[in-house]
Amino acid sequence: MKFSESLKKNEQFRFVYNNGKSYANKYLIMYVKKNGLDKNRIGISVSKKVGNSVVRHRVTRLVRESYRLHENIFNSGLDIVIVGRASAATVGYKEVESALLHLSKLHHIIKIYFYDED
């Protein structure tokens, strides 16, 4: 991820949870808060309710890869926390990618020139 850093500390996640705006769909929940920097900071959280560590890491990798491939279309200066839901454990990359882009559109954090195939 060229343009982004990771959120690592619990306080950073909690700040975005408590002060950010959230939208959800079937597979993901996305919290967004402006951070005043010139880059995005992204955090991915997948609960033990989703499955064992193999399943949780798979969901995390799918979300991270979806974001990485579309990183250039996101507006900068945001803290983004993405929470994986239990239903994301059984789906493939395309569904996770579609869910991520759907939530990004709801938050209006995608640049305007982005063209969607739908």
Instruction: For residue 118, tell me if it sits in a domain.
Output: no
CATH of the domain at 79: 3.30.230.10
Buried/exposed code over 93-114 (b: 16+ C-beta within 10 A; e: otherwise): eebbbbbbbbbbebbebbeeee
- Classify residue 24 as exposed, middle or buried by CB count within 10 Å of its CB (0-12, 13-18, 19+): middle
User: What's the structural domain count of the chain?
Assistant: 1
Domain that holds residue 42: 4-107
Residues 26-78 pLDDT 10s: 999 999 999 988 899 999 999 999 999 999 999 999 999 999 999 988 888 99
CA–CA separation, 70 vs 86, rounded Å? 23
DSSP 74: B
Instruction: For residue 15, tell me if it sits in a domain.
Output: yes
| Backbone φ/ψ region at 78: left (φ over 0), alpha (ψ -120 to 50), beta | beta
Residues 4-32 pLDDT 10s: 899 999 999 999 999 999 999 999 999 99
Instruction: For residue 115, tell me if it sits in a domain.
Output: no
